[in-house]
Amino acid sequence: MNAATARALSLFDEFVELPAPLRAQRLAALAAAEPHTHAALLRLLDADADDAAGVLERSPARVLADLHERERGRESVAASPPAPEPADLRVGARLGAWRIDRIVGRGGMGTVYAAHRDDGQYQQRVAIKCLRAELDSPLLVAAMREERNLLARLDHPGIAALVDGGVDGDGRPWFALRYVEGEPIDAWCDQRRLGIEARVDLLLQVCDAVAYAHAQGVLHRDLKPSNVLITSEGRAQLLDFGLSAQLGPLREAPGELPALTPHYAAPEARQHGAQGPATDLYALGVLSYRLLGGHWPTPLHGLRPLMPGADSGAPVAMDGLLGARPGDAALAR
């Protein structure tokens, strides 16, 4: 392998993740400075585009899409439809003073329901979180109780507050939160084509809520767009402390709890389950990069970075995304 090829291989992961216009700019600069490296890199990029590259250099989305297509090809035309999911017996039932109306969402540990006050005292809507019956275990019961205890510490306009809590008929803990009607922060920004100032304002609201939680000794540990809802008034609301923990020195977490969201989790959290203020700050950084730059800070979409000990590469500076794709990122506005 000559020096130009080796250099091209070292640049491949960085260039393959770039948006097409930005990649063209970077390739033009490389052609002027290192023509032999440029030629070798073009061959690698062309091979990847033709699917001639190995599976470790292919997009996981592409790998899964190809696999899905092959599986669909094997399916019989007369295949019977999948059996419907069994009805959730909690819907329509009473839990404490609350009547459960519908399922809002399911997470790794619990199910969240919309509910209303049903004891004739006053009217209120809440979101009730219950432990999923099929995941009942002493560790998860303890985790639910810990989440409830930590939420009881928090009283901030940017965090969905604890309203009530108790134990169901099977001895499993539940708790009710202020109901938040809103959209995930990324969808809110993109649908309204918000500029950089409006996005930064929302991020500052999120940072204020996280800083408050840290000041109360609480880590979130799963900061991502779906856990930050924006209300119709444009206020950020931080949700789902299901993986929360007490603030303390960086340490490893129990291994049996639901997995973190890998694309937003810090390397030490992904690899060792470590938790600390820095892991929340890392997730905030990724969230900021996604909202302001429209892309991931480091190449995440090749399979090689997912291998143990692999280096995901240095992040691309956000100002390098200027002009990448008009309308795709706040920086392009």
Catalytic residue annotation:
222
Q: What are the φ/ψ torsions at residue 328 (nearest 5 degrees)?
A: -85, -25
- CA dihedral angle for residue 61, residue 67, residue 68, residue 74, rounded to 10 degrees: 170
Q: What are the φ/ψ torsions at residue 103 (nearest 5 degrees)?
A: -85, 135
- The strand pair at 94-95 and 98-106 is best described as antiparallel
Hey, how many other C-beta atoms are within 10 angstroms of the C-beta on 215?
A: 10
Structure tokens at 224: 């991502």
Those residues with Cβ within 8 angstroms of residue 173's Cβ, 6 or more apart along the chain or in another chain: 131, 141, 144, 145, 148, 165, 166, 167
